[in-house]
Amino acid sequence: MTPQQNLQLEVPTVSELTDQIKQLLEANFADVSVEGELSNVKKSRNGHLYFTIKDDKAQLPCVMWRSRASQLEKDLVDGQHVILGGQVQVYPPHGRYQLIVSYVQQAGVGKLQQAFEELKQKLKKEGLFDEEHKKPLPSFPMRIGVVTSSAGAAFQDIRSTLERRWPLARLKLWHASVQGEFAAPELVEGIQYFSREKNVDLLIVGRGGGSLEDLWPFNEEAVARAVFDCKVPVISAVGHETDFSISDFVADMRAATPTQAAELATPDIQDIRFLVDDMESKTIQSVQNLVNRYRETVQRLGKSHALLVVKNRIQSYSDRVHSLREFMLNRFRHMASQQREFLNQFHFQSSRFLARKASLGREGLNELRHKLEVRSEKLIARNRERLTELHHQVEKQNPNAPLEKGYVRVWQNRKWVKALKEFQEKETAELEWKDGRVRR
């Protein structure tokens, strides 16, 4: 057999060679990772993704089947720098190899995640996450500060939520970049401004959702320390519901979204209105019940035997005073009439006497008149003193006279406590003044 015949027998076919290459590659590259830039990203009608990952020297065709592609959180785009994981597969009909992609990760995420964990542990050891440092949120904030981008959806969500939920609050915005190299310094500047000025009741710091790279400014140590040192309560509102940022751990409260931050920061004005209406109704009912109870007490006391006895005694003394007053007036009138008759008679006799005894002169008449006046004045003064004495006696008999002087009467079990031995310490007592009573 010639060498040419032997060579022909050993040469494999294209399929055989391709199969050998397939076995070799797929056996040794069953689980690989590769980093590069995406290009020519296309999605087929059946949902599969076809694209190429490349660097400046090589490129690799890739396929992601629909079952995996449907689980992607974000669409793949040309120019995106990623890390792909999967297995190398040879496709015999085209005579090429390709990467069957099972997962996609943003390039650099691993380093960022490591930096995140290192900073998290550092700040945790320093106590920046401890609950004892958390400041309580005010119940009714009237001034709310926001540190975020003025052009982002986060601020619009916060403003619209407050307009609907708590329109009494005044909103103050500090514009800051929320991603990129200038974001962290601008966030720190805004937080320190509100902390220094203390012109708000609480502060919301945050942005909408994004990738780990987009949210990284909120994982910077400078931002975390600014939040911790802030003199007003801080709500961290970085828009990612499942993952936490460093600012979330340091802040006094964490909200999953800016909208939730506005809801956590404020009460609902409709709830307050309902509460006020309910309290008003309860207050009116309580006052009405109290008035009814005291009205019944007054009516019951008005019909009590003790009060009727006092009222009858007062009426009796009043009648007696009235009778004495009438008696004294009648007596005064009688005495005045007697004096008037006496004077008239005296004047008549004096005239006759003077006619007969003109020589006695004016001095004797004046002396006699003076004596009569003194006698009348003494009689009137004596009667007035008697009337005053009778009035004082009546006043002493009035049981409410001490109350008019500021004294207090003590009642227990509807009885007037007149001695210390009658007072029962464990029983409820009522204190009575001239203008009302108080139960103790």
Residue 436 has pLDDT above 90, yes or no: no
List the beta strands (DSSP E) in 44-166.
49-54, 59-64, 81-91, 96-106, 143-148
Window from 163-167, 181-185, 327-331, 338-342 with minimum mean pLDDT:
338-342
Give the pLDDT of residue 334. 80
Most confident of 57-71, 295-309, 328-342: 57-71
Give the pLDDT of residue 48. 95
Residue 283 lies in a domain: no
List the beta strands (DSSP E) in 107-229.
143-148, 170-175, 202-207
| Structure confidence by residue, pLDDT tens digits, 418-431 | 787 878 877 888 88
Residue 285 lies in a domain: no
Residue 216 CB contacts under 8 Å (≥ 6 apart), including other chains: 112, 179
pLDDT band for position 188 (50/70/90)? Answer: very high
Residue 131 near residue 119, CB atoms below 8 Å: no
Asked if 50 and 97 sit in the same domain, the reply is: yes
Give the pLDDT of residue 232. 97
Domain, as residue range, for 313: 305-399
State how far the Cα of 224 lies from the Cα of 116, in Å rounded to an integer: 12
CATH number, residue 60: 2.40.50.140
CATH number, residue 254: 3.40.50.2300
Residue 277 lies in a domain: no
Residue 291 lies in a domain: no
Window from 76-90, 155-169, 220-234, 238-252 with minimum mean pLDDT:
238-252
Angle (CA) 22-27-33 rounded to 5° is 100
Residue 101 lies in a domain: yes
| Structure confidence by residue, pLDDT tens digits, 98-125 | 999 998 987 776 677 778 889 999 999 9
State how far the Cα of 87 lies from the Cα of 312, in Å rounded to an integer: 113
Residue 245 has pLDDT above 60, yes or no: yes
Asked if 309 and 381 sit in the same domain, the reply is: yes
Give the pLDDT of residue 54. 93
Q: What does R_g of the chain's alpha carbons equal in angstroms?
A: 54
State how far the Cα of 343 lies from the Cα of 332, in Å rounded to an integer: 16
pTM score of the predicted model: 0.49
State how far the Cα of 409 lies from the Cα of 343, in Å rounded to an integer: 56
Please say which residue of 242, 267, 292 terminates a domain: 267
Asked if 327 and 422 sit in the same domain, the reply is: no
Residue 343 lies in a domain: yes
Residue 133 lies in a domain: yes
Query: What b/e sequence results for 64-95 when a residue is b if at least 16 CB atoms lie within 10 Å of its CB, and e otherwise?
Result: beeebbeeeeeebeeebebbbebebebeeeee
Window from 16-25, 90-99, 238-247 with minimum mean pLDDT:
238-247
- Per-residue pLDDT, averaged over 41-59, amounts to 93
Backbone angles phi, psi at 54, to 5 degrees: -150, 165
Please say which residue of 78, 107, 136 terminates a domain: 107
Partnered with residue 49 across adjacent β-strands are: 43, 64
- Per-residue pLDDT, averaged over 239-247, amounts to 78
Match 């460093």 to its residue by tokens: 246
Angle (CA) 198-202-206 rounded to 5° is 115
Structure tokens at 243: 């993952």
Give the pLDDT of residue 300. 75
Q: What's the mean pLDDT when you consider all of the chain? A: 85
Asked if 90 and 145 sit in the same domain, the reply is: no
Residue 198 has pLDDT above 90, yes or no: yes
Residue 199 has pLDDT above 80, yes or no: yes
pLDDT band for position 263 (50/70/90)? Answer: very high
Q: Residue 90 corresponds to which amino acid?
A: V
Asked if 118 and 261 sit in the same domain, the reply is: yes
Cβ-based burial of 398 (10 A; exposed 0-12, middle 13-18, buried ≥19): middle
Asked if 419 and 329 sit in the same domain, the reply is: no
State how far the Cα of 294 lies from the Cα of 416, in Å rounded to an integer: 19
| Structure confidence by residue, pLDDT tens digits, 317-364 | 788 888 888 888 888 788 777 777 776 776 676 666 656 665 555 666
Asked if 248 and 313 sit in the same domain, the reply is: no
Please say which residue of 211, 244, 267 terminates a domain: 267
- Per-residue pLDDT, averaged over 353-382, amounts to 71
Asked if 257 and 319 sit in the same domain, the reply is: no
Give the pLDDT of residue 5. 53
Residue 273 lies in a domain: no
Match 């008759």 to its residue by tokens: 341
**Number of folded domains that form the chain:** 4
**Which position has the higher pLDDT, 211 or 222?**
222
Give the pLDDT of residue 293. 85
Asked if 262 and 234 sit in the same domain, the reply is: yes
**Which position has the higher pLDDT, 80 or 135?**
135
Asked if 100 and 119 sit in the same domain, the reply is: no
Asked if 239 and 132 sit in the same domain, the reply is: yes
Asked if 263 and 121 sit in the same domain, the reply is: yes
Give the pLDDT of residue 6. 52
- Per-residue pLDDT, averaged over 292-318, amounts to 75
Give the pLDDT of residue 120. 93
